[in-house]
Amino acid sequence: MAQASYPDELLYHPEHDWARIDAADPALATLGITWYAQDALGEVVFFDPPAVGTTLAKDASYAEVESVKAVSDVIAPLSGEIVEVNEALSENSAMINEDPYGEGWLVKVRLSEPSERDSLMDAATYRATLAG
Amino acid sequence: MPLTLRRTALFDRHVAAGAKMVDFAGWEMPVQYEGVRQEHMAVRNSCGIFDVSHMGEIETSGPQALDLLQRLLSNDVSQILVGGAQYSVLCREDGGVLDDLFTYRLGIERYLTVTNASNHERDLEWFQAHAADFPEAQVSDGIDDWAMLAVQGPLARERVQAISDSPLPPRMSMGRRRLAGADVLVCGTGYTGEEGVELLCDPAAAPALWDEIVRRGAVPAGLGARDTLRLEVCFHLYGNDLSVERGPIEAGLGWCCKEDTRFIGAEAVRAVRAAGPAEKLVAFEIDGPGIARQGNQIVGGGVVTSGTLSPSLGRGIGMAYVPAARAATGTRLEIDVRGKMRPAVIKDKPLYRKGS
């Protein structure tokens, strides 16, 4: 994805992570990194997915993504327990660059504190932080 | 650290090409344009062009220029013919490495030494301090006089030859040429393991020269690809694989140390060579997923000094200092990569060879 994009239906964390709350189940969220994060990182060459069942604490690192040059922590925008990881990324981590909000999702999480979503930013607010 | 980053003569070219600019040793340099992997493969398969104008230059001239350089540089400087090039290290008295350098002989009593950006000021002070013992040697800072481009890859010489007024100097030689109308020192050297040349010219002439070589098909490549390319062929990076904490023998650079020239540090180097180093710099490949990075510890002793994903080999590679007793090719290592143990195996250098 060459152009910056921040879909309106997502929630954003200042460490450049997004969360998509499941439409049918407000305690289930899909997480990933934003266009800005993948662009800053460059081509992702390795994603080591955490195990299903791993507990996530909001604002703490739960995984690492690596580009050729650097390794970067992935910060949890919300707390919960991992129920699914994107196994396809271990074979094709470049999807994180090509489709950060779609095929490049990282994990699905059963939220332990669904109300934490209120602390996240909407797309317009997140975009404004990048402009600064 | 300077408050404002220095920019090379090609800064505007990098920005226009969409490069990601980073602070590198006080310079605002392109780390990548389209992507490290693409730029890396362009150099392996065709031709890439790098702006390496952040590298420093020290000019040494006069009747005692050779004597001074022989005292400072580890290699036998008297072996460089006019128009020749030589690699060496600069050592302290205790053998610790201050820098690794290429020296070109421009004339009978005139030499140009290329320094690493991060070490340039320290090197220059070191040269000047020791020049006091050689009154007929002059040392001058050339950092503002030269822009430096590296054109590297199997098609690099062809691309540059096409704009040159005469045949290019062969490998490990240098000569003055007119390239697309500009006066350029063409050096048959590089840092990628590919054929190619390094071009030193007046900074004012650099943008037009860059444009002409890019127009002829060279792919702009950043410092990211420069690092992955050099690591695949196990060229040292100062600050990673070389430091004042270790000597050239440990680093596998004994071949460029000629102790009989009595360079500064020669006795320390001689002693380590005779006794055998306690540790050695080895190349490794990760066996499986994962990428080791600088500073990762090796179980049982040792430390990774450079690590990346090899675009050519598709796996994690790197270099590490390990105890000499466990430095043989084929030795299995376990590397602590941020808490995960990654198996690796020591390989022969270079890690990448053409056609492998």
- Interchain CB distance below 8 Å, A48 and B338: no
- Residues of chain B in Cβ contact (below 8 Å) with chain A: 20, 31-32, 35-37, 40, 224, 227-228, 289-291, 293, 308-309, 311, 338, 340
Phi, psi of B301 (to 5 degrees): 115, 135
Q: Are B120 and B170 in contact (CB under 8 A)?
A: no
**Could you give the domains of chain A?**
11-116 (2.40.50.100)
Task: Give one word for B18, left, alpha or beta, with left for phi > 0 and alpha for psi -120 to 50.
Answer: left
pLDDT at position B213, please?
A: 98
- Interchain CB distance below 8 Å, B36 and A64: no
pLDDT at position B329, please?
A: 98
**How far apart are the CA of B40 and the nearest CA of chain A, in angstroms?**
11
- Interchain CB distance below 8 Å, B309 and A45: yes
**How far apart are the CA of B133 and the nearest CA of chain A, in angstroms?**
43
Q: Give the full edge-to-edge strand order of the sheet including A71-75.
A: A44-48, A61-67, A71-75
Q: Are B285 and B345 in contact (CB under 8 A)?
A: yes
- Interchain CB distance below 8 Å, B290 and A48: yes
Question: Which of B21, B24, B36, B227 to probe the A interface (max A CBs under 10 A)?
Answer: B36
Say if the ipTM goes beyond 0.90.
no
**Could you give the domains of chain B?**
11-53+146-231 (3.30.1360.120), 278-350 (2.40.30.110)
A49 pLDDT band (50/70/90 cuts)? Answer: confident
The residue of chain B with its CA nearest to that of A46 is: B290
Cβ-based contacts of B293 with chain A (< 8 Å):
71
Q: Where are the alpha helices (DSSP H) in chain A?
A: 35-41, 88-91, 95-98, 123-131
- Determine the Cα angle at B255 with ends B252 and B261, to 5°: 125
pLDDT at position B356, please?
A: 57
pLDDT at position A108, please?
A: 97
Cβ-based contacts of A45 with chain B (< 8 Å):
37, 291, 309
**B116 Cβ contact list (under 8 Å, min separation 6):** B25, B55, B56, B99, B100, B101, B238, B239
Cβ-based contacts of B40 with chain A (< 8 Å):
68
- Interchain CB distance below 8 Å, B31 and A69: yes
User: Could you list the mean pLDDT of each consecutive 10-residue stretch along chain B, which spans 356 residues?
Assistant: 83 96 95 94 98 98 98 98 98 98 98 98 98 98 97 98 97 97 97 98 98 98 97 98 98 98 98 98 95 96 97 96 98 95 97 83
pLDDT at position A68, please?
A: 82
- Interchain CB distance below 8 Å, B35 and A42: yes
The single residue listed with the structure tokens 């695949």 is B232
Residue of B193, B214, B169 lying closest to B49 (CA atoms): B214
- Interchain CB distance below 8 Å, A64 and B338: yes
pLDDT at position B1, please?
A: 47
- Interchain CB distance below 8 Å, B227 and A90: no
pLDDT at position B354, please?
A: 83
Q: Are B7 and B14 in contact (CB under 8 A)?
A: no
A90 pLDDT band (50/70/90 cuts)? Answer: confident
- Determine the Cα angle at B193 with ends B254 and B232, to 5°: 85
DSSP sequence for B243-305: -TTS-TTTTT-GGG--GGG--TTHHHHHHHHHH--SEEEEEEEESSS----TTPEETTS-EEE
